[in-house]
């Protein structure tokens, strides 16, 4: 449901003006908004697992699971319900409140829909929020997942529409927007963000946030990923994202989407504690928790617990 205080007519020039503020001014504005709508000392914890690994026919140039690149990922069948629920129980034990399940598919086939429905129901019975990311989704499939109790559907836009064809050619930007629309129409909460470090420029990053902020209803969760450079993919030698640029995007996401949960997602293992702390101050209030994010390395649970202890940040 749309919040009446939500602004959906941001212009790109407005975003540029905010982004180019002195660093301290930008962070202070973002932090004031963050403190107004969220507990500044609480972070929502999600765990992400791969329920079907490898063999994806898409050509996303950053992805270890694309069948088009030799990344050393072995093709695996869809995990059993028992294995998924085992890992969900472990995630809850470690403090996660949301359990996210990802499958390396271009789109959800109806032949797999029943398996996913059972996983969603099982996760819900454990008292966890449920989230899935399964590629493109039809309106009927979205409604079936909603009926099963699904809380969130993740489908990232990745980057700006203008730069998108440099990243993926096997689907269009509009395909992504159509799936987000199908999810929203089924009254499932939307998890949608992007990736920094794909070779895009600053304007591409601002355009991504502009699209997200101007959706009729802004995403409830906005994951901001820092590219994990996977050997064998076309983007394996991409330039690292500057930490200050990354923090600025977190701050801007908080300003233009004040009610959303802004999540530090992939790439946290390459960030030092000080960078993460500044991201939390700037408005990030969600993280992925666990040793792996699908197939890529993540910050360890022990390290995250120690960081949150140092910052005196608790879990939602």
Q: What angle do CA 203, 237, 249 make, to 5 degrees?
A: 30
Q: Which of 63, 192, 268, 279 is catalytic?
A: 63
Q: Confirm whether 56 is a catalytic residue.
A: yes
Q: Nearest CA to 116 among 95, 102, 97?
A: 102
Main-chain phi, psi angles of 107, to 5 degrees = -155, 160
Q: Which of 98, 184, 191, 192 is catalytic?
A: 191
Report strand pairing: 296-297 vs 292-293.
Answer: antiparallel
Q: Confirm whether 131 is a catalytic residue.
A: yes
Q: How many CA atoms lie within 13 A of 79 on its CB side?
A: 20
Q: Confirm whether 98 is a catalytic residue.
A: no
DSSP, collapsed to helix, strand or coil, labels residue 282 as: helix
Q: Which of 98, 184, 248, 263 is catalytic?
A: 263
Q: Confirm whether 100 is a catalytic residue.
A: yes
Q: Nearest CA to 182 among 116, 135, 214, 118?
A: 135
Q: Which of 100, 184, 205, 248 is catalytic?
A: 100
Q: Can you read off the two tokens belonging to residue 146?
A: 């909603």
Q: Which of 89, 106, 131, 309 is catalytic?
A: 131
Contact 224, 196 (CB under 8 A): yes
Q: Confirm whether 279 is a catalytic residue.
A: no
The residues that are catalytic are: 56, 60, 63, 100, 131, 191, 263
């Amino acid at each position: 449901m749309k919040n009446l205080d939500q602004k959906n007519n941001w212009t790109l020039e407005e975003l540029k003006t905010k982004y180019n503020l002195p660093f301290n001014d930008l962070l202070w504005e973002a932090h004031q908004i963050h403190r107004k709508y969220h507990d500044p000392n609480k972070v929502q914890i999600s765990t992400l697992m791969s329920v079907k690994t490898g063999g994806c026919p898409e050509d996303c140039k950053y992805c270890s699971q694309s069948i088009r690149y030799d990344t050393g990922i072995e093709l695996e069948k869809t995990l059993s319900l028992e294995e998924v629920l085992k890992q969900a129980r472990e995630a809850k034990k470690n403090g996660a409140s949301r359990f996210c399940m990802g499958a390396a598919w271009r789109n959800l086939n109806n032949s797999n829909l029943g398996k996913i429905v059972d996983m969603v129901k099982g996760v819900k019975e454990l008292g966890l929020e449920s989230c899935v990311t399964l590629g493109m989704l039809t309106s009927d499939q979205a409604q079936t997942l909603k009926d099963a109790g699904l809380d969130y559907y993740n489908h990232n836009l990745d980057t700006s529409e203008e730069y998108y064809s440099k990243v993926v050619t096997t689907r269009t930007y509009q395909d992504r927007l159509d799936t987000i629309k199908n999810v929203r129409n089924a009254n499932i909460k939307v998890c949608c963000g992007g990736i920094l470090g794909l070779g895009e420029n600053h304007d591409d990053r601002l355009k991504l946030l502009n699209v997200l902020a101007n959706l009729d209803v802004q995403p409830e969760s906005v994951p901001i990923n820092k590219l994990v450079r996977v050997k064998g993919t076309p983007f394996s030698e991409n330039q690292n994202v500057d930490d200050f640029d990354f923090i600025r995007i977190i701050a801007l996401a908080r300003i233009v989407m004040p009610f959303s949960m802004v999540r530090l997602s992939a790439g946290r293992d390459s960030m030092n504690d000080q960078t993460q702390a500044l991201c939390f101050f700037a408005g990030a209030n969600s993280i992925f928790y666990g040793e792996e994010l699908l197939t890529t390395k993540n910050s360890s649970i022990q390290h995250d617990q120690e960081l949150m202890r140092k910052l005196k940040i608790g879990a939602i």
